[in-house]
A = this chain, B = another copy of it.
Amino acid sequence: MNGAQALIRTLVDSGVDTCFMNPGTSEMHFVAALDKVPEMRGVLALFEGVATGAADGYGRIAGRPAASLLHLGSGLGNGVANLHNARRAHTPLVNIVGDHATYHLKYDAPLTSDIASIAAAVSPGWLRTSASSADVGADAADAVAAAYGPPGQVATLILPADVSWGDGAATAAPAPVPSRAAVDGSTIDAVAKVLRSGESVAILLGGTTLREAALGAAARIAAATGAKVLAETFPTCLERGAGVAPVERLGYLAEFMQFQLQGVQHLVLVEAKAPVSFFAYPGKASELTPEGAGVHTLAALGDDGTAALAALADAVGAPAQVLAAAVQAASRPELPTGPLAADSAAAVIGALLPEGAIVSDESNTASLALPAMTAGAPRHDWLTLTGGAIGQGMPVATGAAVAAPDRKVLSLEADGSAMYTLQALWTQAREGLDVTTVIYSNRSYAILNVELGRVGAETGPKAKAMFDLSQPPLDFVSLAQGMGVPATRAETCEDFAAQLERAIAEPGPALVEAVMPAITL
């Protein structure tokens, strides 16, 4: 058995049976081994950022890692942005990067580069070069275990070509998946005391606590104590909709976060970090916890925050029956009419979002009305841009659809961001994935027009031109059709609703370009 076969067999035995890939010559034995280990599904991407983003989306929905397979340092570079997002999402992900044969590196052939240096930025917690074919099975098992964390992480295994093609390899038994640490009773008691203090408390939920059980426990605590419950700004996977306890997300803009946290005397962190400004702005604060507020960690990242919340709810005497009143009631907005805009598009989506949908949200400035408009829609999962590296939404949607072939995926995508990893559409077409993409086509980097004002810079026409995507306008219908995805364009609410309804009703990929003005703040 060669190294590649041992690697793939070990991955499959460890529960990793999907590999998103963009291989090159040094990965040929890995690719050839796909025919020896039929349980491994290889999903081809035309660009590495699609492969890594899809592996992230897969991991977020499946709760177990996918693998990505990249070609040397340059392929890894192309995958960095979405590995960065996966790192921030704490998604379990096994990132395999092919390298030249070990003995070939010293010749400094053209594609040689310092892979480990690049990988360290996205995979600081676990990064290993497989030293021999005999080791690679064990390395793979270790990589899978490391990917699980907790919290989950990107585990990068550099795979030299001769390790891949060399014989004498053996599969390794799956390493145990480490479980989340239980929060001890004294921590729960201390937080319970804070909640009973009569002072103003906000509970900030993040990580894995944005699922029904944890949200329900938090809602019970809120009902019993008056605490405010908030979610981190960019959740990895937020469960929401009718029947689930709703949670307000912290805003993106620092000013808005400060408004949400105003008057809070105690901040309780549950698998979340204390809030900081996304960017720095001249003369504005980076730390957004209200001055003087006490910060209490109920559960650190990697702890079992869900169990801790349940224990805390019991500790504060929150009756289970209050939850029924706290969960979101079913409600849909009316279908709007007239010219399309970000708000009315959100209403259309809220009116049509199907039961069990997965929403991959990279709608950026077009997103402001979405939480309210979709709050009472049937239960769904909401995946966000966790690391701020745009070009994540369409790949994540792709991977989510591979992980959950029986669910509709709605990919809400800003036009500027779409152009980083548009190649995801081709993989959606090739694999017949059930993804409906909405492009918010406002023909600008609208967020940068907002930010330009916020950083206090004087603006002239040359600067403004750098955010203008209107010359020429991007025609997303042509772009999608060019990659085999049927597409239509809507400029009115009526057209958008009809097109979105049809796209949702039919299985397989489709795209709707929603033309609308950019928001102004």
Q: Which residues of A contact B (CB under 8 A)?
A: 21, 23-26, 28-29, 31-32, 34-36, 38, 42, 44, 46-47, 49, 72-81, 84-85, 88, 100-101, 103-104, 107-111, 113-115, 117-118, 120-122, 124, 161-162, 165, 234, 273, 276-280, 282, 286-287, 386-389, 391, 416, 419-420, 422-423, 426, 429-430, 447-448, 451-452, 455-463, 465-466, 469, 471-479, 481-484
Contacts and interface: CB of A to CB of B under 8 A. Distances in A.
B81 A80 contact: no
Nearest to A462: B34
Given A113-B122, A419-B47, A475 B481 contact: yes
A44 B277 CA distance: 27
26 contacts: A23-B448, A25-B278, A25-B448, A28-B448, A28-B452, A29-B455, A31-B466, A32-B458, A32-B459, A35-B461, A46-B420, A47-B420, A74-B389, A77-B80, A80-B118, A100-B280, A107-B286, A108-B276, A109-B279, A110-B387, A111-B278, A111-B389, A162-B282, A429-B472, A475-B481, A475-B482
A279 B100 contact: yes
Contacts of A29: 455, 457
Contacts of A469: 46
A167 to B, nearest CB: 10
Which of A423, A451, A457, A469: most chain B CB closer than 10 A? A457
A252 to B, nearest CB: 10
A165 B473 CA distance: 32
Nearest to A87: B113
Given A24-B448, A118-B117, A118-B118, A80 B88 contact: no
Contacts of A75: 81, 389
Contacts of A84: 73-74, 77, 111, 113
A95 to B, nearest CB: 13
Contacts of A36: 460
Interface pairs A-B: 3 shortest CB-CB: A77-B80, A472-B484, A35-B460
A423 B419 contact: yes
Contact of A78 (B24, B77, B456): B77
Given A28-B452, A77-B80, A111-B278, 7 more contacts: A31-B457, A32-B458, A42-B462, A46-B419, A109-B286, A426-B474, A472-B484
A420 B386 CA distance: 24
B21 A466 contact: yes
> How many copies, total?
2
B466 A476 contact: no
Contacts of A118: 77, 80, 117-118, 121
A474 B43 CA distance: 17
Contact of A278 (B110, B466, B483): B110
A162 B281 CA distance: 8
Which of A74, A88, A388, A426: most chain B CB closer than 10 A? A74
A73 B121 contact: yes
A501 to B, nearest CB: 24
Contacts of A81: 74-75, 77-78
Contact of A25 (B121, B455, B474, B484): B455
Contacts of A420: 46-47, 78
Contact of A35 (B21, B451, B459, B483): B459
A249 B28 CA distance: 27
A165 B109 contact: no
Contacts of A44: 465-466
Given A452-B31, A461-B35, A114 B104 contact: no
A73 B82 CA distance: 11
B471 A482 contact: no
A114 to B, nearest CB: 4
Contacts of A479: 478-479, 482-483
Nearest to A45: B419
A387 B74 contact: yes
A49 B273 CA distance: 32
A277 to B, nearest CB: 7
Contacts of A455: 25, 28-29, 161, 165
Nearest to A120: B117
Nearest to A114: B121
A34 B482 contact: no
Nearest to A451: B25
A416 B463 contact: no
A33 to B, nearest CB: 8
A35 to B, nearest CB: 3
